Structure 1
Amino acid sequence: MTNVLILGGTAWVSGLITRRWIDSGARVTCLARGTHPVPDGAELVRADRDDAEPYRDLHGEWDEIVDVSRHAHHARGAVEALGARTARWTYVSSASVYADEATPDTDESAETVAPAQDGDEYEYGAQKRASEEAVLALGERARIVRPGLIVGPGDPSDRFGYWAAAFDRAADGPVLIPRVEGRKAQVIDVEDLVSFLVDSESFAPVNAIGDVHELGHVLDAVRAATTHSGKVVTAEDEWLEAHGVEFWSGERSLPLWLPMDMGGFMTRSNAAYRAAGGTLTSLETTIARIVDDERTRGVHRARRAGLTRDEELALIDAL
């Protein structure tokens, strides 16, 4: 039986990784604070990775350790404490480690950002890159996977799901969108990512990302899936910025909308992922699952990204 340790294993992505390993017949241990319930079939070892000795209650060896940490000091500490006790170490990094956000179709050889050093102010890409370096010190046992924007049911970031909610809640009313011409969207279905993490034997750094789509095509597909019948109202970048609408994510934002000079951010090459056996769910299937999920969770609920319906309508009225 394969013996797997998940550092985390109870939140969205790491919980699905745990579930997939259990379904494959593995024995899975999750080291986590216990904020979220552990998936059925996994053993929970409670620990906070900010504590002085978070790994003291872990005993034995593993065939695989999986870490999804966002903080370099967590990754460094885990490798130091557990690195000699596993046959393979998979680190779930991010495409945000790349320095070039302007050039389309870059691959895994592209320049990366400088890794964060101890004491640096938190910056996601730099923390992920420093974490990669800690894991790569394990040599041939190290495996680095760099997802792009992960989407699917249960996504706590709300970035992709916002559009399903926006079109669905509007019904026959208007929906505000940014100018889509010249903009792209590139996502990875969480189920494809999880399958790759569990099933793939690739060790070289791999961009786990989907195909590139026109942003307009993606929004049209989401609109069709919700059967939205109202107007689609387009606002120019300068107008949106002047009215306090943010790019990409967060409160009062339009998710998936990026500055025009970031044309490489969602157009990276996924050739290595495909060559390593990575699968890609059709965009339409992913969207259908997300629409169902948003309807279940509530299209009017408070969310981490996007506009409230009242904010959206006020902006449309102001155009």
Structure 2
Amino acid sequence: MEAVAWSADGMRLLVLGGTAWLGGEIVRAALDQGYEVVCMARGERPAPSGVTLVAADRDDPQSYSALDGDFDAAIDVTMVPAHAQGAVTALRDRVNRWALVSTCSVYAEDDLPGQDESARLLEPYEGPFDVEKYGECKVACEQAVLAAYGDNALIARPGLITGPGDHSDRTGYWPLRFAHPITDDGTVLVPDAPDSSVQLIDARDLAGWLVEATERGTGGVFNATTEHIALSEYLSLAREVAGHDGDLVAVDQEWITEHEIAPWAGERSLPLWLPQPEYAGFATRSPAAARVAGLRTRALEESIRDTLAWEIQAGPGRTRKAGLSPADERALIAETRAADR
């Protein structure tokens, strides 16, 4: 993983995306470094102030012809294999270095804790993007970038991304629930999962590192995440940040499964919780290589606090993409209490 450094003076960066959450943070980090930034995106959202937006649909292989000039580097957040392949094919002679935001979901084995970047990957999926094959699609994206750029490619595999702006509603669920319980007495339903872990990285830290690593010319594949902590520790910290002093109703894995509550994300779920032992390695990937490559992360407490502030600003009563609905949680709490009598 040798680094080929160059000066950031006059650096011209292409961000493929750049108008949504992580892409926007990448753009802001680059602008803070004085880069000239060009974003190529569909144009459905406004680009951050200070960038040049090239509105284009990457489903069209000719879309890259709308870009003018050459670039020192590109950062791509795509999960669509055809987009990754099309971009590196069209721009290989115009972009010196390439960074791809991948995911820790590319790994084939989720039950082995502590694995590093050498762990076995899923088979690549070359078809149209399929959310059910998210990891396989990202593997195909990685392969396209590595084949085109080799040592001049940076592959970042983050774990779960947190911070203000998390529209997936996963990492804001618990801070908001503790700050605004849906029961009259402040009781919150939580998973009793002593063996479950979480591994989060703030979008602002990931974006800053991507920009800095691109500037330094860092190449290689990295688990771009933090050290894992127990889910119970995360919940305690979220509760402390939110100032929650109500009761907790803790339900174990068997109970969660019996009540058909989904893990991790989505409707009627307990966000961040994963069943054990089959997911013992999912949120315990080794970030050692990324640390050596300069990745630094803020205190989790700060991320939780800022995420909670964003959640409150976004509206505590909005319909969420992840978690239990207020009515469902009330009914489940009432059921557990009735069973204890």
Q: Is the shorter-chain TM-score for this pair beyond 0.5, marking a shared fold?
A: yes
Change (3 A) 1:195 1:120: closer
- The amino acid across from 2:335 in the alignment is A
Partner of 1:162: 173
RMSD: 1.3
After superposition, residues 1-319 of structure 1 pair within 5 angstroms as 1-118=10-127, 121-122=130-131, 123-137=133-147, 138-170=149-181, 172-200=185-213, 201=216, 202-260=218-276, 261-319=278-336
Shift of 1:265: 0.3
Shift of 1:300: 2.0
Shift of 1:292: 1.4
Q: TM-score, normalised by structure 1?
A: 0.97
Shift of 1:70: 0.9
Structure 1: gaps (5+ residues): none
Contact 1:247/1:254 (CA < 8 Å) preserved in 2? yes
The percent of aligned pairs where both chains have the same amino acid is 44
- The amino acid across from 2:135 in the alignment is G
Distance in 1 of aligned mates of 2:237 and 2:67: 47
Shift of 1:52: 4.3
Distance in 2 of aligned mates of 1:54 and 1:120: 19
Aligned residues: 319
Shift of 1:44: 0.6
Shift of 1:235: 1.2
Instruction: Give 3-state SS (helix, strand or coil) of 1:90's partner.
Output: strand
Shift of 1:48: 1.1
Runs of 4 or more, structure 1, over 6 Å off, are: none
Q: Any idea what the Cα deviations from partners look like across 1:253-285, whole Å, max 9, x if unmatched?
A: 100110101000001111111111110211111
Contact 2:81/2:129 (CA < 8 Å) preserved in 1? no
Contact 2:98/2:154 (CA < 8 Å) preserved in 1? yes
Distance in 2 of aligned mates of 1:119 and 1:42: 30
Shift of 1:311: 1.4
Shift of 1:242: 2.3
Shift of 1:290: 1.4
Contact 2:39/2:52 (CA < 8 Å) preserved in 1? yes
Change (3 A) 1:74 1:283: same
Change (3 A) 1:74 1:269: same
Instruction: Give 3-state SS (helix, strand or coil) of 1:84's partner.
Output: coil
Instruction: Give 3-state SS (helix, strand or coil) of 1:294's partner.
Output: helix
Distance in 2 of aligned mates of 1:20 and 1:272: 22
Distance in 2 of aligned mates of 1:109 and 1:28: 33
Structure 2: gaps (5+ residues): 1-9, 337-341
Change (3 A) 1:147 1:120: closer
Distance in 2 of aligned mates of 1:280 and 1:20: 14
Change (3 A) 1:121 1:214: closer
Contact 2:171/2:272 (CA < 8 Å) preserved in 1? yes
Q: TM-score, normalised by structure 2?
A: 0.91
Change (3 A) 1:98 1:291: same
- Of the structure 1 ranges 229-238 and 1-10, higher mean CA displacement relative to structure 2 is found in 229-238
Instruction: Give 3-state SS (helix, strand or coil) of 1:269's partner.
Output: coil
